[in-house]
Structure 1
Amino acid sequence: MKLITSPASPYARKVRVLIHEAGLTDDIQEMQVKTTPMATAPEVAAANPLGKIPALIRDTGPAIYDSRVICRYLDDRGQAGLYPQARLWEVLTLEATAEGILDAAIGIVYERRFRPEHMQLVDWHDAQWAKVTRALDTLGKMWMSHLSGPLDMGQVGVGCALGYLDFRHDDREWRKGRGALDDWYAAFATRESMQATEPRDT
């Protein structure tokens, strides 16, 4: 199988972390591409009509896409147990929260990168960051016991989301006033799978 990915994509990073945790690194070849919302790479468009990464080209059947779909597929294939039935809805909700953090944080990056400066709206940036801060506050107030429990995809998603905030929004100091979440992430980021997938620009 081939994973269409980018070393800077936090959505792809989630999948890559799962691949490491599930012991599937020998089964999947990473195909790194350069693509943007304004100029979709042809390899990406061929695998995903929406023009987004990651996408997984399987040995049989059509390519599948959206990080959450790929993660469910590979978790099942590798029998990794990162979507445990006993707490499935909590895991999915935590994963969705992480995705929402990424959607808002990446929206700010894209606004700055692709829209002329005189057309950018500070209020829109602030509104997107407000989503991030509400989610981070909720993680600290409601989810720390879950984050500290056995490994699942909710934790992987949150770890990748916090890593992206460090990567693209370190000036916003997300850790301030969130000591418990900061401590959790500091420990989680030392996992071999997280170390092997640290984001970088190409």
Structure 2
Amino acid sequence: MKLFSSRRSPHVRKVLIAAHELGLAEDIELVPQAVAGLTPDEELWKHNSLGQIPTLVTDDGRALFDSGVIVEYLQSLRPGLRLIALGPSQRIDALHRQAWADGLIEILLRWEGERRRELDPRQPDYIAAHRARFLHTFDAWETVAQAWDPARFDIGDIAIACALSYADLRFASQAWRDGRPALASWFDRVSQRASFTQTAFDPA
């Protein structure tokens, strides 16, 4: 398999962590892409008209994109290892946490994009709105983190961990751990997993 990717993309990291957890990391060839490239290379465009990462090309030549779809596919290759539960209630819970985290990641990506704009002045109201969503989400996670099963590590947990690590990478000044001991303790624990340490963001 071939994965068009960047080691600075939280969506790519979610796929890579899942691949490690499922024992598939060695079966995936990484094809580096610029995370904010305006012109994706021709090979990526051949497989994904959106020119977005992550894009996975399977061994039979099928192109899959959106990190959630890719993880579903990887899960299908390892049905004995469950990152996405089979039971309806557990599955909905895991997918809900994944969607929650993916939504925050999109907010952080837009916020980071606004901070990097050079041609136009930054829009303070836009940044303030994104920061408010950031804080509300972290406060909500603090409320529920105490009840998270320490033995569980599913796709919802992976997505939340990727959102938290991306906040550390790009928004360290926001100090999300302050006043959120349960969430910080949970994150510190999952950060020690081999799949997490082996997929660290490239800080460059």
| CA 113–26 in structure 1, closer or farther in 2 if over 3 Å, else same | same
Comparing 56-65 with 156-165, greater Cα deviation is found at 56-65
**Is the deviation greater in 89-98 or in 31-40?**
31-40
Identify if the C-alpha distance between structure 1 residues 43 and 131 changes in structure 2 by more than 3 Å, giving closer, same or farther: farther
Higher helix share: 1
Q: Which amino acid aligns with 2:94?
A: V
The one of 69, 89, 94 aligned to 2:92: 89
Q: 1:51 to 1:196 in 2, by over 3 A?
A: same
How far apart, in 2, do the equivalents of 1:125 and 1:37 lie?
A: 22
TM-score (norm: length of structure 2): 0.92
Q: Counterpart of 2:59?
A: 59
Q: CA RMSD in A?
A: 1.6
Alignment gaps of 5+ in structure 2: none
**Among 162, 169, 186, which residue is 1:167 paired with?**
169
**Match for residue 24 of structure 1?**
24
Helix, strand or coil for the counterpart of 1:45?
Answer: helix
Query: What are the ranges of 5 or more consecutive residues in structure 1 without an aligned counterpart?
Result: none
The answer to whether the 8 Å contact 1:34/1:41 transfers is no
Return closer, same or farther for 1:40/1:70 CA change in 2, 3 Å cut-off. same
Residue deviations 1:142-165 (CA, integer Å, cap 9, x gap): 344235342111000011110000
Q: How far did residue 39 of structure 1 move? A: 2.9
**Partner SS for 1:26:** helix
Q: Distance in 2 between matches of 1:143 and 1:163?
A: 16
C-alpha displacement at 1:137, in angstroms?
Answer: 1.4
Inter-partner Cα distance in structure 2 for 1:48 and 1:113:
26
Aligned positions of 1:29-178 closer than 5 A:
29-36=29-36, 38-79=38-79, 80-86=81-87, 87-118=90-121, 120-146=122-148, 148-178=150-180
Summarize the Cα distance change of 1:111–1:37 in structure 2 as closer, same or farther, 3 Å threshold: farther
User: Contact conserved, 1:35 with 1:41, CA < 8 A, in 2?
Assistant: no
Contact 1:14 1:156 in 2 (8 A): yes
Moved more, 26-35 or 158-167: 26-35
Post-superposition offset of 1:91? 0.3
Which 10-residue stretch deviates more, 39-48 or 7-16? 39-48
Work out whether 1:190 is the aligned partner of 2:192. yes
Distance 1:144 1:109 in 2: 29
Q: Which secondary structure does the structure 2 equivalent of 1:56 belong to?
A: strand
**Runs of 4+ residues over 3 Å off in structure 1:** none
Q: Deviations over 1:90-145 (max 9, x none)?
A: 10000011101100001011112245352x20110111121122211111213442
TM-score (norm 1): 0.93
Aligned residues: 201
